Amino acid sequence: MSSGDVEAQQRSVAVYLIDRLALRVGGEKDTGEEADTVGCCSLRVEHVKFDVPEPQLHLNFLGKDSIEYDNTNEISPRAYALIKKFMKGKKPDGQLFDKVEPSDLNEYFKSVMDGLSAKVFRTYNASITLCQELQKTDEMVTAEQRKRETDVIALCNYYTIANKQVAILCNHQKAASANHGEQMAKLDEQIEKAKAELKEAKKAKLPKAEQLQKRVDKLEANRRTKDETKCVSLGTSKINYNDPRITIAWCKRHEVPIQKQFPKTLLAKFAWAMNVEPDYRF
């Protein structure tokens, strides 16, 4: 970024955004795709919004599969200043990185490391995010919790929320299902019924009150998880971005059956990772 050459500056800022914001490189147009979808290298001036304090960068554009990318992130002051420089004097439909093509970046990546590409940045950032989020699970699940309340269902909820952070990072969004409201209503009904049973059990001082409390906790946790993940696609990161060893090691550490996270197709695809040690860290 400190180079005096504009092309080098643009290439550097593009690489920075691909790494920092997990953006796709852009330019890999599907021949049958009619929508105006873009990635980092095809960003236009109109995609940069100056409605937040600097050095925050607000980008709004249609990404792959016409999924809207609308996020604000703080970036380095130098990168922010260069982006403003690249925009100067250009019309809204002008290219932000007019001196950089996706092929230029991938050639540059190859010169740094064999096999390095823009997608590797996304897979790395997805995997390190999942690993860091799951480490929070290790800290949250204390020995006492494990003894009292933590079970496979609760652990799977922890995992889902961790994987949600990856989906947000990679902009893996989806529309909420048409029957989401109906599903929430059914869960609410189950929760109210379980709470009523718990209240009666406590009133009668029945020994099953503890089991009913666990049921209420599980139902409430399931409801939170389902509602929090209604607009993100969790499968994409599992299949294409997360290093499977992270998930397999986590399952081994917490004695969660691997089938809870990987269906048969993924078990076959990731057979190479099954021997990973429980203490593996990405």
Residues annotated as part of the active site: 241
3-state secondary structure of 216: helix
**Nearest partner of 162 among 238, 275, 256, judged by Cα:** 238
Q: Are 229 and 164 in contact (CB under 8 A)?
A: yes
Q: Are 75 and 20 in contact (CB under 8 A)?
A: yes
**Nearest partner of 104 among 26, 168, 169, 189, judged by Cα:** 26
Give the C-alpha distances (Å, rounded to integers) separating 137 from 58, 215, 225, 230.
31, 21, 15, 21
Give the C-alpha distances (Å, rounded to integers) separating 50 from 53, 84, 223.
8, 10, 37
CA distance 119 to 21: 12
Q: Please, where are the H alpha helices in the chain? A: 6-20, 77-87, 102-112, 118-140, 143-148, 152-169, 180-203, 209-228, 235-240, 244-254, 264-269
CA distance 96 to 174: 28
Beta bridge partners of 232: 173
- Residues in contact with 44: Cβ distance below 8 Å, sequence separation at least 6, in sequence order: 38, 61, 92, 93, 94, 95, 96
